[in-house]
Amino acid sequence: MKRKIIAEIGINHNGSLELAKRLIDMAYLAGCDYVKFQKRSPEDCVPSEQKQKLRETPWGKIPYIDYKHKLEFNHQEYQEISQYCLEKGIEWFASVWDIPSVDFMKQYCSIAKIPSALITNIELLNYARESFDTLIISTGMSTEKEIEQAMEQGKPDVVMHTNSTYPSPIEELNLKYIHHLAEKYPDTQIGYSGHEYGLVPTFAAVAMGAEWVERHITLDRSMWGSDQLASIENIGLIKLVKGIRDIEKAEGDSGPRQLLDSELSKRKSLRGE
Protein backbone atom coordinates (compact mmCIF):
# COMPACT_ATOMS: atom_id res chain seq x y z
CA MET A 1 0.00 0.00 0.00
CA LYS A 2 1.47 3.32 -1.08
CA ARG A 3 1.21 5.96 1.63
CA LYS A 4 0.39 9.58 0.94
CA ILE A 5 3.16 11.77 2.32
CA ILE A 6 2.33 15.40 3.13
CA ALA A 7 5.11 17.93 3.69
CA GLU A 8 3.45 20.66 5.71
CA ILE A 9 4.90 24.05 4.94
CA GLY A 10 2.16 25.60 7.06
CA ILE A 11 3.30 29.09 7.99
CA ASN A 12 7.01 28.21 8.02
CA HIS A 13 7.42 30.37 4.89
CA ASN A 14 7.04 33.44 7.14
CA GLY A 15 5.12 35.25 4.42
CA SER A 16 7.90 34.87 1.84
CA LEU A 17 6.90 33.47 -1.55
CA GLU A 18 10.54 32.74 -2.34
CA LEU A 19 10.91 30.75 0.87
CA ALA A 20 7.69 28.89 0.09
CA LYS A 21 9.11 27.88 -3.29
CA ARG A 22 12.30 26.61 -1.68
CA LEU A 23 10.21 24.49 0.68
CA ILE A 24 8.18 23.17 -2.28
CA ASP A 25 11.48 22.25 -3.97
CA MET A 26 12.57 20.46 -0.81
CA ALA A 27 9.36 18.40 -0.68
CA TYR A 28 9.45 17.62 -4.40
CA LEU A 29 13.07 16.46 -4.37
CA ALA A 30 12.42 14.25 -1.33
CA GLY A 31 9.54 12.55 -3.14
CA CYS A 32 6.54 13.80 -1.14
CA ASP A 33 3.06 13.55 -2.61
CA TYR A 34 1.75 16.88 -1.32
CA VAL A 35 2.81 20.16 0.20
CA LYS A 36 0.32 21.78 2.54
CA PHE A 37 -0.14 25.38 3.61
CA GLN A 38 -2.39 26.99 6.25
CA LYS A 39 -5.03 29.51 5.23
CA ARG A 40 -6.57 31.92 7.71
CA SER A 41 -8.60 35.09 7.53
CA PRO A 42 -6.93 37.04 10.36
CA GLU A 43 -9.91 39.32 10.91
CA ASP A 44 -12.05 36.24 11.63
CA CYS A 45 -9.50 34.04 13.38
CA VAL A 46 -7.77 36.42 15.77
CA PRO A 47 -9.77 37.17 18.94
CA SER A 48 -10.67 40.84 19.35
CA GLU A 49 -8.68 41.20 22.56
CA GLN A 50 -5.53 39.89 20.80
CA LYS A 51 -5.63 41.99 17.65
CA GLN A 52 -3.85 45.10 18.90
CA LYS A 53 -1.46 43.41 21.31
CA LEU A 54 2.11 44.16 20.33
CA ARG A 55 4.39 41.29 19.38
CA GLU A 56 8.08 41.06 18.53
CA THR A 57 8.35 39.78 14.96
CA PRO A 58 10.87 39.71 12.10
CA TRP A 59 9.14 42.94 10.97
CA GLY A 60 9.65 44.66 14.31
CA LYS A 61 7.25 45.14 17.20
CA ILE A 62 3.83 45.29 15.58
CA PRO A 63 0.17 44.54 16.49
CA TYR A 64 -0.61 40.83 16.44
CA ILE A 65 -3.25 41.26 13.72
CA ASP A 66 -0.66 42.90 11.44
CA TYR A 67 1.74 40.04 12.09
CA LYS A 68 -0.93 37.48 11.12
CA HIS A 69 -1.69 39.39 7.91
CA LYS A 70 2.01 39.31 6.95
CA LEU A 71 1.90 35.48 7.06
CA GLU A 72 -0.95 35.20 4.57
CA PHE A 73 -0.56 34.86 0.82
CA ASN A 74 -3.06 36.59 -1.47
CA HIS A 75 -4.66 35.26 -4.66
CA GLN A 76 -1.82 36.35 -6.89
CA GLU A 77 0.73 34.60 -4.67
CA TYR A 78 -1.32 31.39 -4.43
CA GLN A 79 -1.76 31.43 -8.20
CA GLU A 80 2.01 31.51 -8.46
CA ILE A 81 2.30 28.69 -5.90
CA SER A 82 -0.27 26.64 -7.80
CA GLN A 83 1.58 27.09 -11.08
CA TYR A 84 4.92 26.33 -9.45
CA CYS A 85 3.60 23.07 -7.97
CA LEU A 86 2.07 22.14 -11.33
CA GLU A 87 5.41 22.64 -13.05
CA LYS A 88 7.19 20.59 -10.39
CA GLY A 89 4.62 17.81 -10.49
CA ILE A 90 3.64 17.92 -6.81
CA GLU A 91 0.12 18.47 -5.50
CA TRP A 92 -0.76 21.04 -2.86
CA PHE A 93 -3.58 22.03 -0.54
CA ALA A 94 -4.14 23.82 2.76
CA SER A 95 -5.59 23.59 6.21
CA VAL A 96 -8.57 25.96 6.32
CA TRP A 97 -9.24 27.86 9.53
CA ASP A 98 -12.49 29.67 8.71
CA ILE A 99 -15.30 29.81 6.14
CA PRO A 100 -13.79 32.65 4.05
CA SER A 101 -10.64 30.54 3.80
CA VAL A 102 -12.71 27.62 2.52
CA ASP A 103 -14.12 29.88 -0.19
CA PHE A 104 -10.61 31.08 -0.98
CA MET A 105 -8.99 27.64 -1.22
CA LYS A 106 -11.72 25.78 -3.09
CA GLN A 107 -10.80 27.88 -6.12
CA TYR A 108 -7.48 26.06 -6.19
CA CYS A 109 -7.82 22.65 -4.53
CA SER A 110 -10.20 19.70 -4.28
CA ILE A 111 -8.72 18.62 -0.95
CA ALA A 112 -8.51 20.41 2.41
CA LYS A 113 -7.84 19.76 6.05
CA ILE A 114 -9.60 20.94 9.18
CA PRO A 115 -6.89 21.36 11.84
CA SER A 116 -7.22 19.85 15.30
CA ALA A 117 -8.03 23.23 16.81
CA LEU A 118 -11.25 23.51 14.79
CA ILE A 119 -12.86 20.06 14.60
CA THR A 120 -15.44 21.24 17.14
CA ASN A 121 -16.52 23.98 14.71
CA ILE A 122 -19.44 22.10 13.17
CA GLU A 123 -20.37 24.93 10.80
CA LEU A 124 -16.85 24.93 9.36
CA LEU A 125 -16.81 21.13 9.14
CA ASN A 126 -20.07 20.98 7.24
CA TYR A 127 -19.12 23.82 4.91
CA ALA A 128 -15.74 22.27 4.13
CA ARG A 129 -17.37 18.89 3.53
CA GLU A 130 -19.62 20.46 0.91
CA SER A 131 -16.74 22.34 -0.69
CA PHE A 132 -14.02 19.71 -1.16
CA ASP A 133 -13.88 16.24 -2.67
CA THR A 134 -11.43 15.03 -0.02
CA LEU A 135 -11.62 16.23 3.58
CA ILE A 136 -9.03 15.46 6.27
CA ILE A 137 -9.32 16.12 9.99
CA SER A 138 -6.80 15.81 12.83
CA THR A 139 -7.64 14.65 16.34
CA GLY A 140 -5.18 16.58 18.53
CA MET A 141 -6.32 18.37 21.70
CA SER A 142 -9.73 16.64 21.40
CA THR A 143 -11.79 14.28 23.53
CA GLU A 144 -13.19 11.04 22.15
CA LYS A 145 -16.67 12.58 22.17
CA GLU A 146 -15.48 15.60 20.19
CA ILE A 147 -13.85 13.32 17.64
CA GLU A 148 -17.03 11.25 17.35
CA GLN A 149 -19.05 14.40 16.69
CA ALA A 150 -16.55 15.60 14.08
CA MET A 151 -16.62 12.23 12.34
CA GLU A 152 -20.42 12.19 12.32
CA GLN A 153 -20.82 15.77 11.14
CA GLY A 154 -17.89 16.19 8.78
CA LYS A 155 -17.73 12.66 7.41
CA PRO A 156 -14.04 13.09 6.59
CA ASP A 157 -12.25 10.87 4.12
CA VAL A 158 -9.14 10.81 6.33
CA VAL A 159 -8.78 11.09 10.10
CA MET A 160 -5.28 11.72 11.42
CA HIS A 161 -4.04 10.80 14.85
CA THR A 162 -1.83 13.50 16.32
CA ASN A 163 -0.55 15.03 19.52
CA SER A 164 -0.86 18.81 19.37
CA THR A 165 2.11 19.61 21.60
CA TYR A 166 4.92 21.25 19.60
CA PRO A 167 7.20 19.32 19.83
CA SER A 168 5.32 16.27 21.17
CA PRO A 169 6.87 14.25 24.03
CA ILE A 170 7.58 10.71 22.80
CA GLU A 171 5.88 9.13 25.80
CA GLU A 172 2.63 10.98 24.99
CA LEU A 173 2.28 9.95 21.33
CA ASN A 174 -0.03 6.98 22.04
CA LEU A 175 0.50 5.44 18.61
CA LYS A 176 -1.84 2.57 19.42
CA TYR A 177 -4.68 5.05 18.98
CA ILE A 178 -4.13 4.44 15.26
CA HIS A 179 -5.44 0.90 15.81
CA HIS A 180 -8.42 2.27 17.74
CA LEU A 181 -9.34 4.65 14.92
CA ALA A 182 -8.98 1.91 12.31
CA GLU A 183 -11.28 -0.42 14.25
CA LYS A 184 -13.82 2.30 15.01
CA TYR A 185 -13.93 3.83 11.52
CA PRO A 186 -13.20 0.98 9.08
CA ASP A 187 -14.48 2.94 6.08
CA THR A 188 -12.23 5.94 6.74
CA GLN A 189 -8.55 6.22 5.86
CA ILE A 190 -6.31 6.65 8.91
CA GLY A 191 -3.34 8.99 9.02
CA TYR A 192 -0.65 10.25 11.35
CA SER A 193 0.47 13.86 11.77
CA GLY A 194 3.71 13.93 13.74
CA HIS A 195 5.12 16.82 15.75
CA GLU A 196 7.78 14.89 17.64
CA TYR A 197 11.56 15.10 17.38
CA GLY A 198 13.03 12.46 15.11
CA LEU A 199 11.56 10.01 12.61
CA VAL A 200 11.23 6.68 14.43
CA PRO A 201 7.67 7.21 15.77
CA THR A 202 6.50 8.23 12.30
CA PHE A 203 7.97 5.05 10.82
CA ALA A 204 6.21 3.09 13.57
CA ALA A 205 2.91 4.81 12.72
CA VAL A 206 3.27 3.69 9.11
CA ALA A 207 3.95 0.10 10.18
CA MET A 208 0.89 0.30 12.44
CA GLY A 209 -1.38 1.18 9.55
CA ALA A 210 -1.23 4.94 8.89
CA GLU A 211 -2.13 5.50 5.23
CA TRP A 212 -1.43 9.23 5.24
CA VAL A 213 1.64 10.77 6.89
CA GLU A 214 2.17 14.45 7.60
CA ARG A 215 5.22 16.25 8.98
CA HIS A 216 6.04 19.95 9.16
CA ILE A 217 9.11 20.92 7.13
CA THR A 218 11.58 23.78 7.43
CA LEU A 219 14.84 24.90 5.91
CA ASP A 220 16.21 25.57 9.39
CA ARG A 221 14.65 24.77 12.77
CA SER A 222 16.27 27.88 14.25
CA MET A 223 14.23 30.20 12.00
CA TRP A 224 11.52 32.48 13.36
CA GLY A 225 8.14 30.84 13.86
CA SER A 226 6.12 28.79 16.32
CA ASP A 227 6.21 25.60 14.19
CA GLN A 228 9.86 25.58 13.15
CA LEU A 229 11.20 23.63 16.13
CA ALA A 230 8.78 20.73 15.60
CA SER A 231 9.62 20.54 11.88
CA ILE A 232 12.11 18.41 9.98
CA GLU A 233 14.86 19.75 7.78
CA ASN A 234 15.93 18.65 4.30
CA ILE A 235 18.03 15.57 5.18
CA GLY A 236 15.39 14.41 7.65
CA LEU A 237 12.67 14.69 5.01
CA ILE A 238 14.70 12.65 2.52
CA LYS A 239 15.22 9.99 5.20
CA LEU A 240 11.52 10.07 6.08
CA VAL A 241 10.32 9.46 2.54
CA LYS A 242 12.92 6.78 1.84
CA GLY A 243 12.10 5.04 5.13
CA ILE A 244 8.37 5.00 4.37
CA ARG A 245 8.95 3.67 0.86
CA ASP A 246 11.28 0.98 2.29
CA ILE A 247 8.57 -0.06 4.76
CA GLU A 248 6.13 -0.38 1.86
CA LYS A 249 8.58 -2.60 -0.02
CA ALA A 250 9.24 -4.71 3.07
CA GLU A 251 5.59 -5.33 3.97
CA GLY A 252 5.00 -8.11 1.47
CA ASP A 253 1.80 -10.16 1.45
CA SER A 254 -0.06 -11.85 4.26
CA GLY A 255 -0.80 -15.57 4.14
CA PRO A 256 1.34 -18.74 4.11
CA ARG A 257 5.08 -18.27 3.75
CA GLN A 258 6.47 -18.65 0.25
CA LEU A 259 9.93 -20.01 -0.55
CA LEU A 260 11.64 -17.22 -2.44
CA ASP A 261 13.89 -17.71 -5.45
CA SER A 262 16.55 -15.61 -3.76
CA GLU A 263 16.68 -18.15 -0.92
CA LEU A 264 17.27 -21.23 -3.11
CA SER A 265 21.07 -20.99 -3.25
CA LYS A 266 21.30 -20.62 0.54
CA ARG A 267 18.86 -23.51 0.98
CA LYS A 268 21.06 -25.67 -1.22
CA SER A 269 24.28 -24.76 0.61
CA LEU A 270 22.85 -25.20 4.08
CA ARG A 271 20.37 -28.06 3.55
CA GLY A 272 21.89 -29.77 0.54
CA GLU A 273 18.56 -29.51 -1.27
Domain boundaries, the chain: 4-271
Q: What is the reported pLDDT for 73?
A: 97
Q: What is the reported pLDDT for 272?
A: 87
* SS (HEC) of the chain: CCCEEEEEEECCCCCCHHHHHHHHHHHHHHCCCEEEEEECCHHHHCCHHHHCCEEEECCEEEEHHHHHHHCCCCHHHHHHHHHHHHHHCCEEEEEECCHHHHHHHCCCCCEEEECHHHCCCHHHHHHHHHHCCEEEEECCCCCHHHHHHHHHHHCCCEEEEECCCCCECHHHCCCCHHHHHHHHCCCCEEEEEECECCCHHHHHHHHCCCCEEEEEECCCCCCCCCCCCCCECHHHHHHHHHHHHHHHHHHCCCCCCCCCHHHHHHHHHHHCC
Q: What is the reported pLDDT for 189?
A: 98
With 90 as the cut, is the pLDDT of residue 266 above it?
yes
The average pLDDT across 164-186 equals 97
Q: What is the reported pLDDT for 143?
A: 98
Q: What is the reported pLDDT for 238?
A: 98
- pLDDT, tens digit (0-9, with 9 covering 90-100), for 245-262: 999 999 988 889 999 999
Mean pLDDT (the chain) is 96
- pLDDT, tens digit (0-9, with 9 covering 90-100), for 71-104: 999 999 999 999 999 999 999 999 999 999 999 9
Q: What is the reported pLDDT for 210?
A: 98
With 80 as the cut, is the pLDDT of residue 273 above it?
no
Identify the CATH assignment for 4-271 out of 3.40.50.11290, 3.20.20.70, 1.10.10.10, 3.40.50.720. Answer: 3.20.20.70
Q: What is the reported pLDDT for 254?
A: 85
Q: What is the reported pLDDT for 77?
A: 98
- pLDDT, tens digit (0-9, with 9 covering 90-100), for 102-160: 999 999 999 999 999 999 999 999 999 999 999 999 999 999 999 999 999 999 999 99
